[in-house]
């Protein structure tokens, strides 16, 4: 069951890893996930990034992405509707 692993990863992304070497703030993580939804060539990765944004509670990012158009917008809309 990947449920525990998924919750752990999303939890880490919500708190950020600034204290670690080469760590990222939660803002940087959100930006990277949004960029993955927009431009990643792998459709599964796009959906995973969109699902991570949704599980982290950042529906606003998904709404923004859905308004931008393109393949990323389709993924964002699908995740918002299907959750």
Sign for the CA dihedral angle at 14, 68, 50, 42 comes to negative
pLDDT range class, residue 83, cuts 50, 70, 90: low
User: Residue 1 pLDDT more than 60?
Assistant: no
8 A C-beta contact, residue 47 and residue 81: no
pLDDT one-digit tens code per residue, 12-38: 777 777 777 777 888 888 998 999 999
């Amino acid at each position: 069951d990947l449920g525990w692993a998924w919750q752990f990863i999303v939890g880490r992304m919500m708190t950020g890893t600034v204290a670690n070497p080469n760590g990222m703030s939660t803002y940087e993580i959100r930006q990277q996930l949004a960029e993955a939804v927009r431009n990643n060539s792998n459709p599964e990765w796009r959906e995973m990034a969109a699902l991570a944004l949704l599980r982290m509670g950042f529906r606003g990012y998904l709404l923004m992405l859905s308004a931008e158009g393109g393949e990323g917008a389709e993924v964002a809309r699908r995740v918002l509707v299907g959750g």
